[in-house]
Amino acid sequence: MSSDASQSLVEASRSPESYTIGIICALSIEKAAVEAMLDKKHPALPQPSKDENKYTFGEIGPHNAVVACLPSNLYGKASAARVAQDMKRSFPIRLGLMVGIGGGVWSQEYDIRLGDVVVSQPEGVHGGVVQYDFGKNEAGRGFQLKGHLNSPPFELLSALSELKSRHIMEDDCLPQYLEELGRKFPKMIKSSGYKHQGSVNDKLFRASYIHPAGQRTCDECGTRSDQIVARPDRPDTKPLIHYGTIASADQVMKNGLKRDDIVKAEGVICFEMEAAGLMNRFPCLVIRGISDYADSHKNDSWQPYAAATAAAYAKELLGVINPTAVSELPTIGK
């Protein structure tokens, strides 16, 4: 039997039961980055009529994965929860990932720059993600968070430990995967912005400096050297990986002062909008490429590259997880 014929038999034998890794993205630019990291794309499969998601199927590392994106312009916890619910009804998902962009928090401890990657990791009382818009004001204590979000599954946390240990001894694979993305899909680099946007365009403004009303870009903001936080230059543009607590809510964080208040109270290092809708129903690891600093000085120029670095980390992470072990895990509750 020829190799082409054998491959055709393999393709024909694939069914929904073949896909045990579920990846959810919020934006089309994020889903495109994940698709670009697939080692092989599979043909679409029929899906139940009640499942309204649009899926991409393929191989990433040793795993068969299914990728879904939130509906256009429907962001936040509820939309993410709905996409996850349909995915786990249609496929026997064992492990999940939320992959995309977020707002980073720079500090002396966490030297987070645009394009870096933040990965949810349990710390203190938090399981890796904290919902910062769920709580109440208490006399004398200010705003107190309520409720608890689950930690990522044990198998994903074990993979984190393995990857962190490996990266102590050797370089990570993110630059390699980003280079491969450019070779396979040159348009993503040339015209779609999936490349580093230049260190000169990575500016952190003081928390109290609000983006002037009416200005569409931060070009003028960048001339205010008195409002820019001085940070040491990096030797190269290689993205770094950070582990810690991610803050999630149904709103974009665009206020540097409020950002810093939450950071002080909860020790978070990243802000985003979807993870809180997943953790208790679709336990997963949250991987965010940093596209802004969660303040009023937002622009879209770093988003594609940040999505690509997050997708590259997801690919490396899945590469250290044994597919046989995944197949023996229980499916995420339907």
- Give the start-to-end residue ranges of the domains of the chain: 100-323
| Residue linked to tokens 């895990």 | 329
Residue 126: the pLDDT is 87
Q: Are 100 and 263 in contact (CB under 8 A)?
A: no
Q: What's the CA gap between 146 and 208, in Å, rounded? A: 28
Asked if the model's pLDDT at residue 164 lies above 50, the reply is yes
| Helix, strand, coil fractions of the chain, as percent rounded to 5 | 35, 20, 45
How does residue 226 score in pLDDT terms, banded at 50, 70 and 90? confident
Predicted TM-score (pTM) of the model is 0.92
Residue 330: the pLDDT is 95
Residue 180: the pLDDT is 98
Residue 135: the pLDDT is 56
Query: Across residues 276-305, what is the average pLDDT?
Result: 93
Residue 149: the pLDDT is 86
Q: What's the CA gap between 287 and 171, in Å, rounded? A: 19
Task: Give me 138's structure tokens.
Answer: 């208490």
Residue 9: the pLDDT is 41
Tens digits of residue pLDDT in 231-290: 999 999 999 999 999 999 988 999 999 999 999 989 999 999 999 999 999 999 999 999
Asked if the model's pLDDT at residue 68 lies above 60, the reply is yes
Query: Across residues 174-203, what is the average pLDDT?
Result: 96
Asked if the model's pLDDT at residue 158 lies above 80, the reply is yes
Q: Are 292 and 305 in contact (CB under 8 A)?
A: no
Q: What's the CA gap between 227 and 212, in Å, rounded? A: 13
Asked if the model's pLDDT at residue 2 lies above 70, the reply is no
**Class of the 100-323 domain?**
alpha beta
Residue 225: the pLDDT is 74
Q: What's the CA gap between 108 and 243, in Å, rounded? A: 15
Phi, psi of 95 (to 5 degrees): -135, 140
Asked if the model's pLDDT at residue 124 lies above 90, the reply is no
The beta strands (E) that lie in 126-169 are given as 129-131, 135-138, 142-145
Residue 138: the pLDDT is 46
Query: Across residues 22-41, what is the average pLDDT?
Result: 98
Half-sphere exposure of 139 (CA within 13 A, CB side): 0
Residue 143: the pLDDT is 46
Q: 290: helix, coil or strand?
A: strand
Task: Give me 253's structure tokens.
Answer: 């964080």
Residue 219: the pLDDT is 67
Q: What's the CA gap between 253 and 274, in Å, rounded? A: 13
Residue 139: the pLDDT is 45
Q: Are 304 and 280 in contact (CB under 8 A)?
A: no
Least confident of 26-30, 190-194, 225-229: 225-229
In this structure, the strands spanning 95-104 and 40-42 are: unpaired
| Residue linked to tokens 């034998």 | 13
Looking at every residue in the chain, the average pLDDT score rounds to: 90
Residue 81: the pLDDT is 96
**Among 159, 155, 16, which residue's Cα sits nearest to residue 95?**
155
Q: What's the CA gap between 108 and 189, in Å, rounded? A: 32
| Residue linked to tokens 């400096």 | 209
Residue 334: the pLDDT is 58
Secondary structure element (H or E) that encloses residue 102, with its range: strand 95-104
Looking at the DSSP assignment, which residues form a beta bridge with residue 270?
A: 104, 246
